[in-house]
Chains A and B, each alone.
Chain A
Amino acid sequence: MTDQAPFDPSQIADWLNQQRERLRGERAETHQDSESWIASMREWLKLLRPHANPMFGGQSQDELNQALRGLGTAQQSILDLLSKLPPLGIAASQFEPWMRLQTADAEFRKVEEQFRNAIVNVHLQALDELERRLKAREGAPLTERELYDLWVECGETVFTKVAHSSEFAQLQGAVSNAAVRRLREQQKVIEQVARMFDMPTRAELNSVHQQLRALRHEIETLKSAEIGGTPARAKSKRVSASATRAGKKPTRKSSKVSR
């Protein structure tokens, strides 16, 4: 890679700024549900503006935006309220898993956003570290590959510090636990649907596995009691005896599997 043309320092500065801007944008894009809903509605209304104005009584764009923000907030409030509502009525047991899933999903999204922001911060700090190290080189030329490797080194340095902090460990644990809770609620919803159609469920299979395991242990205990040795020894005796009868070495299998 040394045959590569070295970087112009101004190119590097531009690249650093572009990356920072992109990363900040990623962080800013992590809207609440209602905000992203408003954003998409706003785009649609731009397209529909000639038709939408009469529909909304000729209001200005700002007034429409304000109205939409209000609607978005209301939508979020309603969803929050519904998720806290205890299941009621004859169909309560049908709705409950869905409501629990909605709550788990909202919790996951919230903590996942925090986690994503933490990762974006690592990248931003890595760029700061890269800039610092580049300045320390006092304009010494470097190739694109050297720049890339330096960026990786800066990234790992920053990440190691962050990853060892208790805050990051807490956040990592929180996002994993939230993802698992959501998965669990999804499974419950699917199990409910499976039961409606009399399909086997994971819970039933787990019961069968438990029963099989208990039976297996019981059989092994009985076998060892009967033979008066461990099951392995018993097996080994059996194999040895049959192998001796056949005039073979007492191995269970002796097929060559690979070379």
Chain B
Amino acid sequence: MNPETDTPFAQLASKMASVVGALANAGEIEIGTAAKREVYREDKLILYRYEADPEAPRARNPVPLLICYALVNRPYMLDLQPDRSLIRGLLKRGVDVYLIDWGYPDGADRLLDMSDYVLRYLDRCVDVVRRESGQPSINLLGVCQGGTFSISYAALKPERVRNLITMVTPVDFRTEDNLLTKWSETLDVDALVDAYGNIPGSLLNTMFVNLLPFRLHSQKYVQLIDSLDDPEALRNFLRMEKWIFDSPDQPGAVFREFLTKLVKGNELIRGTLKVGGRDVNPKRITMPVLNVFARQDHLVPPSASRPLKQLVGSRDYAEHEFNGGHIGIYVSRGAQKEIPERIAGWLRDR
């Protein structure tokens, strides 16, 4: 036996070298390929409308759905690739989909706060969608932090939201299993924002990856050995990897407000949240609400999302618990039918 080449670790190292070669030859990857057109632009924000799926049922839902994504990472997660796309799944089921792309904030955007995002940008996008569709109110779907924005918006302008859907959205930030909250407990948010201006996406990524350090710094790359003979699986991995580390910076002011008021102060649950000086009263959310969360979500545990039920004033509240994680709810094979079917079906009935 040659210890240089025949020991189990040497074999593992040799396979990892093959992985590097396979990745280098994986070719170009495409993301966010569903057809869409720009319908509105303001500062760095772009509002897109997706083209209807020709195979969709004729009875298209007349009320459009506006998706409000988080400021963390990029919204193409919702249309990562043709066979893993919540957006395509919704289009296929006759939903008219609009999506807000917040862009990449830079130093000039460091003073943007929650009132800018909720009462200015989101409100104007809602206006554009209302105008284009001729509907007095529209369906609003908020993702993660975008869900928290959407809840705030629906509470402030309920007459403009026909149905509210939240996906993996934190509502109660102080639950026992919320590691991000625990870690931010002693963080000097003001000093952080003063020093950085905008909070670098790379800094946030480091924090997210450090929640599961052994898996995310190492194991997920070693697991590529299993995909050595599957170029498509390698490309899937590369798409995910691109999304994970394609992290815009967070405008300092909105980060400060989000951390201070929501994460540390838990003001949404306590009923003390104000946006732009206006009270956010979730009891004003009387429209139908669908709350979708993921059972194995390590970023926004279900315990953080569930309290929405007690918070809102709606009598038509439904939950959907997906058996997966924060990302799997969009890109896993199991989610591709389950999630769009649930959302489109729920909307169809309302």
List residues of chain A with CB under 8 Å of any chain B CB: 1, 4-5, 7, 11, 15, 126, 143-145, 147-149, 151-152, 155-156, 159, 163-164, 166, 169-170, 172-174, 176-177, 180-181, 183-184, 187, 202, 205-206, 209-210, 213, 230, 232-233, 236, 240, 250-259
A259–B30 alpha-carbon span in the complex (Å): 11
- Select which of A11, A169, A202, A259 is within 8 A of B33 by beta carbon: A259
- Chain A hits for B9, CB < 8 A: 15, 144
Q: List 19 A-B contacts (CB under 8 A).
A: A4-B11, A151-B214, A152-B214, A156-B213, A164-B179, A166-B182, A169-B186, A173-B184, A174-B186, A184-B195, A202-B197, A209-B111, A236-B128, A250-B132, A255-B38, A256-B35, A256-B36, A257-B38, A258-B36
A170 contacts B35, CB within 8 Å? no
A258–B79 alpha-carbon span in the complex (Å): 12
Which positions 175-211 of chain B face chain A at CB distance < 8 Å?
Answer: 179, 182-188, 191-192, 194-197, 211
A213–B124 alpha-carbon span in the complex (Å): 18
A52 → chain B closest CB, angstroms = 42
A222–B181 alpha-carbon span in the complex (Å): 41
A177 contacts B108, CB within 8 Å? no
- Chain A hits for B324, CB < 8 A: none
B32 contacts A258, CB within 8 Å? yes
A230–B219 alpha-carbon span in the complex (Å): 52
B192 contacts A176, CB within 8 Å? yes
Task: Give the secondary structure class of A's interface.
Answer: helix
A25–B124 alpha-carbon span in the complex (Å): 59
- Chain A hits for B37, CB < 8 A: 253-257
A209–B124 alpha-carbon span in the complex (Å): 23
Known: A144-B11, A152-B215, A152-B219. A180 touches B182 (CB 8 A): no
B107 contacts A205, CB within 8 Å? yes
B39 contacts A254, CB within 8 Å? yes
A156 → chain B closest CB, angstroms = 5
- Chain A hits for B226, CB < 8 A: 1
Known: A163-B179, A177-B191. A240 touches B131 (CB 8 A): yes
A176–B191 alpha-carbon span in the complex (Å): 10
A126–B218 alpha-carbon span in the complex (Å): 15
Q: What's the count of A-B pairs with C-beta under 8 Å?
A: 128
**B48 CB within 8 Å of chain A:** yes
- Chain A hits for B218, CB < 8 A: 152
- Chain B hits for A148, CB < 8 A: 12, 219, 222
Closest to A249 in B: B132
**B40 CB within 8 Å of chain A:** yes
B131 contacts A209, CB within 8 Å? no
A253–B41 alpha-carbon span in the complex (Å): 8
B132 → chain A closest CB, angstroms = 6
A163–B184 alpha-carbon span in the complex (Å): 12
Known: A155-B213, A209-B110. A173 touches B186 (CB 8 A): yes
A254–B131 alpha-carbon span in the complex (Å): 15
A148–B215 alpha-carbon span in the complex (Å): 11
A11-B7, A177-B187, A252-B40 given; name 4 further pairs at CB < 8 Å. Answer: A5-B8, A187-B195, A209-B107, A252-B39
A54–B108 alpha-carbon span in the complex (Å): 64
A132–B110 alpha-carbon span in the complex (Å): 50
A100 → chain B closest CB, angstroms = 14
- Chain B hits for A256, CB < 8 A: 35-37
Known: A4-B11, A5-B8. A169 touches B185 (CB 8 A): yes
**B123 CB within 8 Å of chain A:** yes
- Provide the B1-41 mask, 1 if CB < 8 A to any CB of A, else 0: 00000011101100000000000000000001101111111
